[in-house]
Chain A
Amino acid sequence: MSDSTPIREAPLPSTGSILSGRLTVVGGLAAALAVLVLAASLVGAYPLSLPEMLAAVGRRLAGAPAQGQIDTVLFEVRLPRVLSAVVVGAALAAAGAAYQALFRNPLVSPDILGVSTGAGLGAVLGIFLSLPVAGIQLTAFAVGLATVGLVYAIASMVHGREPILVLVLAGVVVGSLAGAAISLLKILADPYDQLPAIVFWLLGSLAAVRKGEVWAAAPLVLLGLVPLVLLRWRINVLSLGDEEAKALGVQAGRLRLLVVAAATLMTASVVAISGVIGWVGLVIPHIARMLVGPSFDRLLPTAMLLGASYLLLVDTLARTMARIEVPIGILTAVIGAPFFLWLLARGREGWS
């Protein structure tokens, strides 16, 4: 078998170093996030010092009565906002990673499948109907899920073509329909009261997130995360495509539906509190794949930590770098779009 040389020539494996390298990445990202959370809790319009913060946390933990402004700023304003950036960033990145694996397309994201726009339409509808915050969350979630359902229904009705392509195109079409409906609601909205609220919310911002809203969104995000964590390895098999996954022994159809529903729940529940923050679900999973490879069991924690750190950093910049706050959706687009173009230009096979 002398002709076996070309096919079987390969570098020697070094499993140990690669594996520990990946663990280091997750550990490093977790440490970075912890530092960022601490820093973001201190800076702002009312700066706190580290001893002040620790004293306030100590009082809270000991059950002692709150003292003055420091406790109010920290527990009512700063920490809810930091927490919401972490939750929103992690949820969008996790959902993006799941969508990309499932649809075998690195260009897929909550934005492209129409989930974000759908949830956005739901929230705008809630604002238009002057619903309370909980009502806005509910309409955002309901219309977000309905959008994915519609996209799925259209995609499954169109037979005989590249199913992934049909799905993505259906997402774009349904998303732009939802966009048109949003425009209609803007025209109809009260220009002095509702319209500014709608516009500001659509730009994406964590400025208006209240403490109660974070606590309302977090359990839903966790609920959506459970299937992704449990099925973390099987999602790799799904990413090979339905036919191969079935031949390997996976009930591909059912599992795919479950994972899509989970990722959609995560997306819709954070869009309901933060507005449409684009690009996170598209770009962050890419960076995570560059760091730890495509295997979902490593990709998920890496993408969530990266997404949380990224959004916390951007949000902290948004509220500190200028006298007026820059909506975070603008910043993520300004950072995300060029980055994505750079990814495209690199054009490496396999989209690492």
Chain B
Amino acid sequence: MSVPMLEARALGFGYGARVVGRGVDLEARPREVLCLLGPNGSGKTTLFKTMLGLLPPQAGEVRLEGMALARLTRPEIARRVAYVPQAHAAHFPFTVIDMVVMGRTAHLGLFASPTPEDRRRALAALATLGIAGLAEAEYTRISGGQRQLALIARALAQAAPAIVMDEPTASLDFGNQAIVLSEVKRLATQGLTIVLSTHDPDHAFSVGHRVALLDGGRLVAQGTPGEVLTPQRLRAVYGVPVVVERLSQGQTVCAPDYGA
């Protein structure tokens, strides 16, 4: 079997001396969407930051394409894994194309500015996501869903084989969630490795090839959505009774059981 694109080995993570999580083993391979599920405060964001090298691991190690992350420089990491933060309000009104071109940073020299080729790649990334028309719009003035797509376009322009997305569907409306998830699915079929966190088990059922369930900083279960997201486990982790049903159209949905 091939080397995993992104893997965590007995990873311990946290801020400074504060321990958030321990003993996490994860791996994600090309053409695969790995969904990380867990309640608020379970350590999803801290785990991601550690896997991206933004926080030093407290124990264990992170590997990118089999290489220890600790031995790679910032540009070397950025050429292997891109990060899509939660859609945020920018401080300055950059145009969308300016924002997306910043994805090319790791491919440019320290004193270099983006070339026309970098702009072309950024535009192509916008076109891939169907928002090329937004190129000259101000990032501060587009909707939350459009910002999320623009940040994904930036990750595509970064041309890294793996993308880590921190709750890409948070704060998006129903339709925009579906758009973002269908793009995620399509990117995986094109050969990318995608790791994303979500609060919605339905999202893991619809796009996840594999699911990891995090609770209190430890992995409770890992496997296919069907294996991991059982009513018993969801109830244990989230503390509410849950029904999981397979619809006649093929989708699996998950709903809290409010009782009759």
A residues with CB within 8 A of B:
1, 3-4, 6-15, 18, 101, 104-106, 159, 230-234, 236-237, 239-240, 243-244, 246-251, 289, 293-295, 297, 349-352
A15 pairs with B91, CB closer than 8 A:
no
B141 pairs with A349, CB closer than 8 A:
yes
B135 pairs with A15, CB closer than 8 A:
yes
What residue of chain B has the Cβ atom nearest to residue A101's Cβ?
Answer: B92
Expressed in whole angstroms, the minimum distance between the Cβ of B185 and any Cβ of chain A is 12
Decide if B43 is an interface residue (CB 8 Å cutoff). no
A294 pairs with B92, CB closer than 8 A:
yes
Decide if B28 is an interface residue (CB 8 Å cutoff). no
B residues with CB within 8 A of A:
16, 49, 52-54, 74-75, 77-79, 82-83, 85, 89-95, 97-98, 102-103, 105-106, 108, 110-114, 130-138, 140-141, 143, 145-146, 149, 158, 175-176, 178-179, 182
Cα distance A236–B138 in the bound complex, in angstroms: 15
Expressed in whole angstroms, the minimum distance between the Cβ of A67 and any Cβ of chain B is 47
Of the residues A1, A240, A294, A297, contact of B179 by C-beta under 8 Å: A1
| Residues of the A chain whose Cβ atoms lie less than 8 Å from the Cβ of B140 | 349-350, 352
B95 pairs with A293, CB closer than 8 A:
yes
Q: Which of A1, A18, A247 has the most CB of B within 10 A?
A: A247
What residue of chain A has the Cβ atom nearest to residue B89's Cβ?
Answer: A349
| Residues of the B chain whose Cβ atoms lie less than 8 Å from the Cβ of A9 | 133
Is chain A's binding surface mostly helix, strand, loop or mixed?
Answer: loop
A236 pairs with B111, CB closer than 8 A:
no
The answer to whether residues A8 and B131 also contact, given A237-B102, A243-B54, A249-B106 and a CB cut-off of 8 A, is: yes
Cα distance A106–B140 in the bound complex, in angstroms: 15
Cα distance A232–B108 in the bound complex, in angstroms: 13
Of the residues B85, B135, B146, contact of A13 by C-beta under 8 Å: B135
Expressed in whole angstroms, the minimum distance between the Cβ of A168 and any Cβ of chain B is 13
Cα distance A248–B97 in the bound complex, in angstroms: 16
Of the residues A101, A106, A237, contact of B105 by C-beta under 8 Å: A237
B79 pairs with A249, CB closer than 8 A:
yes
A248 pairs with B93, CB closer than 8 A:
no
Expressed in whole angstroms, the minimum distance between the Cβ of B169 and any Cβ of chain A is 13
Cα distance A1–B130 in the bound complex, in angstroms: 11
Cα distance A108–B102 in the bound complex, in angstroms: 24
13 contacts between A and B (CB under 8 A): A6-B143, A6-B175, A7-B179, A8-B146, A13-B97, A233-B114, A240-B102, A248-B106, A249-B106, A251-B74, A295-B98, A297-B113, A350-B90
